[in-house]
Structure formats: C-alpha cells, structure tokens
Homo-oligomer: A and B are copies of this chain.
Amino acid sequence: MSELVPPHGNKDLKPLALEDDALTTELEKAKSLPKITCSSREFGDVIMLGIGGFTPLDGFMTKLDWQSVCGNMTTSNGTFWPIPITLSTDDEDIKEEEVALVNSNTDEIIATMFVTEKYTIDKEYECEMVYKTTEMEHPGVVMVMEQGKYNLGGPIKVLSDGGYPEKYGDLYMTPTETRDYFKDKGWSTIAAFQTRNPMHMSHEYLVNIALETCDGVMIHSTLGELKPGDIPAEVRSEAISTLIDNYFVENTVFQSGYPLDMRYAGPREALLHALFRQNYGCSHLIVGRDHAGIGDYYGPFDAHNIFDEIGGALLTQPLKLDWSFWCYKCADITSMDICPHSNEDRLLLSGSKLRYLLSENLEVPENFSRVEVLTILRKYYASIKKDEKVNVELKGHSAR
C-alpha cells in the first residue's frame, strides 16, 4: 500500500504545542511576561502552529520572511509559503524579548514567543501581492490594514488548544489525528473538500468526483471566523453529517474542522489550503470555481491556474473542478465540463436567494438540496427568526 503524502517541507509534522510538565512550567512563566493580544486571525494561526498544521514554520514570520513570502511565495530559507503568517501589535514598549500571546476574546494565554524582530511593513504592498487589491471592501485587506503598527517575528511555544476539542469534540481533529485516521482506514489518496457552508447536491457531486479516483474524502470546514450571515459551525456540521449518513458509501467520506479564519485571498489562499491539507495527510484538494474568492477580485480559474505556476512546490495536488448544478435537460446533477446544454436549462440558485427562501420558509426548487439537509437548515432559520439576539451574534463571532 502507498504511503500518505509527507508533511510540507519537513519529514515529520512540527506541532509547536507543549505538553505535560513543559506546558505547566511554560504557562507559569508566561504569567509574568508582557502580553500581546491576538486578533481572531492570529489566534487561529497560533492554534494551527500548535497542532502542526503550519509545518515547517517555527512561529511568526520575520521581515525577511514576510518580504519573501509576499514577493516570491517562499520563506527566506526557500520553503514554499503563499501567504504571510504574521503577528502585529500597536504596543510601543515591546522589545526583542519573550512575550505571552493572549486570546482577545477570553484573555487566555495561548502561547509564548521569543520576539527576535520588531518591524514595520508596507501594508499596501502585502495587500497588493497577496490579495491583488487594496480596496477596503475586501475582508482580507481589512484584516491587514487594521492590524497593528508593528509586526513581531520569532518562534513560539503554543500553550492552548484554543478550546476547539472541548467545543467541537470529534469534529475537531489535528493533523496527527487525521493521519492516524487515514492509516487506520488504509487510505493513501484522500481529497480534502474545503467548506464554510452546508453542502447541497452540487457539492455532493464534487465530492463524488473526488471519490472516483481517491480512497476517501475529508470534508474540512473552517471553525474560524466567518462572514456575517454564514451558517454556524454546529448547524453546518449537522447538515453535513446527515448527507454523509444518507448519500455516500460507508467509510468513504468523513468531516472534520480546522481552526483558521478565512482570508478570501482566492488563488494564494487555495495554495495555503493545499499546503496545510498536505500536513493533514491529504493527497488532493478539491479546488472549485473561484476557490476562496470573494466579490469579483479573482478570475474564476485563477485558483486553478496558480497551481501550474509553482512547479512541484506542494505534493498535495489540486482536483480542478468547475461549476456543478442540476440540468433539466440532462435530468441530472452535472457540471460545466460535461453538460452540453446552456444556462437556461440549469437550476442556478444564488446563496442569498437560498437564504431568503429558507428564512421565509418558502419552497426550495427540487434537485437543489437533499431534503434532510433542508430540514436542518429550516430549523436553524426558524430559530434565529424567533431570537433576534442570534442574528446580532451572527455579525460577530458566529463560529466561535
């Protein structure tokens, strides 16, 4: 049997989390260190570094790394990396010293860091290189433009699991755990399906395509920060579970979550998505139309084409798929690649239209979604109608 794909840039996973006595000692020491508060994005990155999802990084990037990642998609030592992993602060007093990183939502100490460099960056340059825009309508640009005045680079030791195992139970798996899971199943080719939404029949179709050539599919949802209006992780996970239980061959599909925030960086984020899926042990990543894009910032196939530009930098390969939909003439779920008919023959339903239909409890057209999935979504929309507070919460921290 073939082996799993090795981690990115290193023979073994490099989880930066401390355990047992080392953890206790470091936590005690951390209490007296200067504190740096992490944004939601930085928090997700710390937890990801802790579980080895960002192997082979040792911590937050220095200026040389930042510069090289923005410009050439490699760290200063030549490791392929498509998006800067940086920590920022407005704190004028922080020097090159040991600090403690704190979750802004809970005040929990989540890591210690030896700051080897405090530096300023050209934020517009980062946005232009990574997001291809500096417009403040782009949420990834906002994250960069609103981050602190200084970046702090240096290695970290992670002291927290971010509360994910407690909150999400079995849904939350580390790269070590998914690799063990794949080995137990005897799988060597696994496609990751990236999602932050419940899955409808068109998504089921994409997973089926992957199942034709891979041993298994991991439906991999972000448990990080979402956009307002997105379905909370618990509801999404329930909807995905019912799909797995009813519509796939047993022991071919499972779901799991990861702690990162979406950056909506389109093609560059597709590369990051493939990179950390390599660490999770996935040989393939399903890359659909406008993967990780938002608005009209990226062409529909930019995230496909960028994989052709990086040579063999990543071992995890893209499964480049196109739009899928119900076609009335095919009388089937099909896709742009294989349906010879035209858009007027196709059931094309926007996300906002679907949300409207569900929240008003109106009928959703047949062959768009499985009835079991719609039942779960209707229940959720009915619950937030009754409780305006949930609606408010949706705008902030819906998935945490």
A212 within 8 A of B: yes
Q: Which of A213, A248, A252 has the most CB of B within 10 A?
A: A213
A residues 317-343 touching B (CB-CB < 8 Å): 319-322, 332, 335-340
Chain A residues numbered 170-213 whose CB sits less than 8 Å from any CB in chain B: 208-209, 211-213
What's the Cα separation between A172 and B2 when bound, in Å?
38
Q: Determine if A249 is an interface residue (Cβ-Cβ < 8 Å).
A: yes
Min CB–CB distance A336 → chain B (angstroms):
8
CA of A208 to CA of B250, assembled, Å: 24
Q: On chain A, which size bracket covers the interface? A: 20 to 34
Bound state CA distance, A248 and B337, in angstroms?
Answer: 9
Please determine whether B340 and A212 come into contact, CB atoms closer than 8 angstroms.
Answer: no
> Is A92 an interface position by the 8 A CB rule?
no
Contact present for B248 and A338 (CB under 8 Å): yes
A–B complex contacts, Cβ < 8 Å, 26 sampled: A2-B308, A208-B337, A208-B338, A209-B209, A209-B212, A209-B213, A211-B337, A211-B338, A212-B322, A212-B335, A212-B337, A212-B338, A213-B213, A213-B319, A213-B320, A213-B321, A247-B340, A248-B338, A249-B336, A249-B337, A249-B339, A249-B340, A250-B340, A252-B337, A252-B338, A332-B332
Contacts of A335 in B (CB 8 A): 212
Given contact pairs A209-B213, A250-B340, A252-B338, a sample of 9 additional A-B residue pairs in the complex whose CB atoms are under 8 Å apart: A208-B338, A211-B338, A212-B322, A213-B320, A213-B321, A248-B338, A249-B340, A252-B337, A332-B332
Chain B nearest Cβ from A319, distance in angstroms: 6
Question: Contacts of A249 on B, CB cut-off 8 Å?
Answer: 336-340
Given A209-B212, A212-B321, A248-B308 contact (CB < 8 Å): no
How many Å lie between the Cα of A319 and that of B319 in the bound state? 12
Residues of B within 8 A of A212 (CB): 209, 321-322, 335, 337-338
| Copies of this chain held together in the complex | 2
Name the distance in Å between A24's Cβ and chain B's nearest Cβ.
46
Contact indicator B208/A248 (Cβ below 8 Å): no
The interface bits of chain A over 1-20 (1 if a CB of B lies within 8 angstroms of the residue's CB, else 0) are 01000000000000000000
- Of residues 237 through 262 on chain A, the ones whose CB sits less than 8 Å from some CB of chain B are 247-250, 252
Contacts of A332 in B (CB 8 A): 332
Complex: how many Å from CA A342 to CA B145? 56
Q: Using Cβ atoms and an 8 Å threshold, which residues of chain B touch A319?
A: 213
The smallest beta-carbon distance between A332 and chain B, in angstroms, is 6
Chain B residues with Cβ under 8 A from A336's Cβ?
A: 249
10 nearest interchain CB pairs? A208-B338, A211-B337, A209-B212, A249-B340, A211-B338, A212-B337, A2-B308, A212-B321, A213-B319, A213-B320
B contact residues around A2 at 8 Å (CB): 308
What is the bound-complex CA distance between A2 and B311, given in angstroms?
11
With both chains docked as a complex, state the minimum distance between the C-beta of A397 and any C-beta of chain B, in angstroms. Answer: 36
Bits for A225-237, please: 1 = Cβ < 8 Å to B, else 0.
Answer: 0000000000000
- Residue on B with the closest CB to A318? B213
User: A209: which B residues are within 8 A, CB to CB?
Assistant: 209, 212-213
Cα A322 to Cα B211 with chains together (Å)? 10
A336 to B252, CA, bound (A): 11
CB distance from A321 to the nearest CB of B (A): 6
Q: Whose C-beta in chain B lies nearest to the C-beta of A330?
A: B247
In angstroms, Cα B210 to Cα A321, docked, is 11
A335 to chain B, nearest CB (A): 6
Query: How far, in angstroms, from A118 to B257 measured CA to CA in the complex?
Result: 65
A10 to B128, CA, bound (A): 43
How many Å from the CB of A73 to the closest CB on chain B? Answer: 18
